[in-house]
A and B are shown apart, each in its own frame.
Chain A
Amino acid sequence: MRPGGGSSDVQWCFSQVKGAMDDDVAEADIISTVEFNQSGELLATGDKGGRVVIFQQEPESKNQPLRRGEYNVYSTFQSHEPEFDYLKSLEIEEKINKIRWLPQKNAAHFLLSTNDKTIKLWKISERDKRPEGYNLKEEDGRYKDPNTITALRVPVLTPMDLMVEASPRRVFANAHTYHINSISINSDCETYLSADDLRINLWHQEITDRSFNIVDIKPANMEDLTEVITAAEFHPNQCNTFVYSSSKGTIRMCDMRASALCDKHTKLFEEPEDPNNRSFFSEIISSISDVKFSNNGRYMMTRDYLSIKIWDLCMETRPVETYQVHEYLRSKLCSLYENDCIFDKFECCWNGNDSVVMTGSYNNFFRMFDRGYQQDVTYEASRENSRPRSILKPRKISTGGKRKKDEISVDSLDFSKKIIHTAWHPLDNIIAVATTNNLYIFQDKLN
């Protein structure tokens, strides 16, 4: 057993932590989504207060070639504000549910951010020059008296301090009756989908006043409702294929070429339930909280309350790999139901070459599963282990009677400290892990 776990030769080190140091967490600061862009240079976070904070990785310095650049704040903006639905007398939360980056086409960066009801396309652009020498305007913007102008000149672009501007370019509103849980950008670079509890809509990135409904599982009689959509994602390179997961633990793959309304799935991925594990809470823990295609597009990963399952897209009958995240919680489901933890929707992510998967747990633990070496490891994101470049020590949870030194007993786990959102740099061994209001960045030790 090699130290550092995960992939056999990777040692994870603390790199940075972002966010307030206080234990008193303001609700608006609770991180609700984390996402790297396609190059990994930018890292976006959304919070419950509707803000988006984007960090940018500094270029590697020539002086220290073996140290990766740090992530520093690049832009902060208010993406969504609280709204009120007067018809239903309901408040619409400003919490950012998901952020997805568009593939970069020019110097500017674009991302989609969504709350429960509205998706917005934001343009983040840099301005490092400004025009000077206008004929009709003073430097402060006041207009000159035309009678005083005696000569004509061409305004010149002069350097200025870098300014990063975020501007909303499109607002995609009024298309969802229920709460949006996912957005996913299509590989065709033109469309994207948004999913709520019962419907999935297809949008064109340029068109805001209409969308196509491609999945609708709302029953004619709401009393007959048995399942809801929990997550949806487009295939990474087949622009006609997407999947959506349900609260019943099933995943449906749909092909948009088959029909306009994709209510009939092309494939249904479902594992039969183990009758030995039946309990009051079987339905809750089988509900899928996240689904992610692998980068190569051959597999997909699903996260339910206790496990991660890897599915081969060619095999619907059962997953090819199953990893237990925190099986020791199975006997505690009743308490977890009472304190609401059983409803937590953990996310999961792949590393760049699909060899390792990662997800969060309680007590600020997060878990990595190396698919090749069949090893798993638990790490903790905490201020105590946050000395610069300190190596993360694997944590162990003792489930039996005898607790070894350095092990943590299940009963002393802090269920208020949970890691729901994690992200892996698409090309490098850098991970971003969100605790309640802090963002931890870890990277592997470069020798």
Chain B
Amino acid sequence: MSFATAMEVNVEARRILAVSISKLYASRSQRGGLRLHRSLLLSMVMRSARDIYHSSRESEQPNGEQPATEEPMDTNCDPKEKARLTPDLADTSADMAPGVSDKLDESDCDITEDKENLSPAKQSRKRRGKASAAPDFLPSKRARLEPGEERYAAPVGSCRAGVGDYRSALTLNQVIPAF
């Protein structure tokens, strides 16, 4: 895939992710409660967008090691191996629809934030207890990677120096709240 096409795909994937997240939020206030079928379909779209986003980002690497292919997408991956939402997505939340990034910001206040890219209005200094924390299906904002560090290798609940009590990033399937 050419670099330009990978960029377009990347942008499209992020846009679809943003739209999906806002739909999930909207469905919380729907009469009749969350619809399981709709939530499942939304999470599937989000997973596809995430996979595309990953593979298009890989194809943007200068060494071009893993040329990204758009199809066939692996949507049958083993549940245990499902990657978490990439932190890069959280970092680029400022690029997404303002409404969405507001919500992303609220989810985790203890994590090192990219303060340069946040407008003052979006910085939330509120500390929230766990009980009143944002719902589970939000992607967490995780600290930015230092150069050379690997994200995928990090197990759930690992602590890094300088990062306080952060909520572990959740798999996309936890988008469907437990009934």
Contact = CB atoms under 8 A, between A and B. Distances in A.
Number of contact residues on B: which range applies?
Answer: 20 to 34
Interface string B18-38: 010001000000011101111
A284 B44 contact: yes
B173 A224 contact: yes
Contact of B75 (A91, A92, A283, A334): A283
Interface residues of A, number: 35
Interface stretch (B45-53, B107-115, B116-124, B152-160): B45-53
Contact of A280 (B31, B35, B45, B171): B45
A362 B170 CA distance: 38
Nearest to B44: A283
Nearest to A117: B32
Contacts of A198: 36
Contacts of B147: none
Query: Which label, helix, strand, loop or mixed, suits the secondary structure of the B interface?
Result: helix
Contacts of A228: 36-37, 40
Contacts of B33: 85, 88, 90-91
A93 B31 contact: yes
B32 A281 contact: no
A93 B41 contact: no
A226 B79 CA distance: 10
Contacts of B40: 225-228, 247
A334 B16 contact: yes
Contacts of A227: 40
Interface in B48-77: 48-49, 52, 70-73, 75
B176 interface: yes
A46 to B, nearest CB: 15
A298 to B, nearest CB: 29
A337 B19 contact: yes
Interface in A221-254: 222-228, 230, 247
A224 B171 CA distance: 11
Nearest to B43: A225
Nearest to B46: A280
B41 A178 contact: no
Contacts of B13: 280
A47 to B, nearest CB: 15
B41 A287 contact: yes
B145 interface: no
Given A179-B37, A226-B40, 15 more contacts: A116-B32, A222-B176, A222-B179, A225-B36, A278-B71, A280-B48, A280-B49, A283-B41, A283-B44, A283-B45, A284-B44, A287-B37, A337-B19, A337-B45, A338-B19
25 contacts: A85-B33, A90-B32, A91-B32, A177-B179, A178-B36, A178-B179, A179-B32, A179-B35, A197-B36, A197-B37, A222-B173, A222-B176, A224-B173, A225-B40, A225-B176, A226-B40, A278-B71, A280-B45, A280-B49, A281-B45, A283-B45, A284-B44, A337-B19, A338-B19, A340-B23
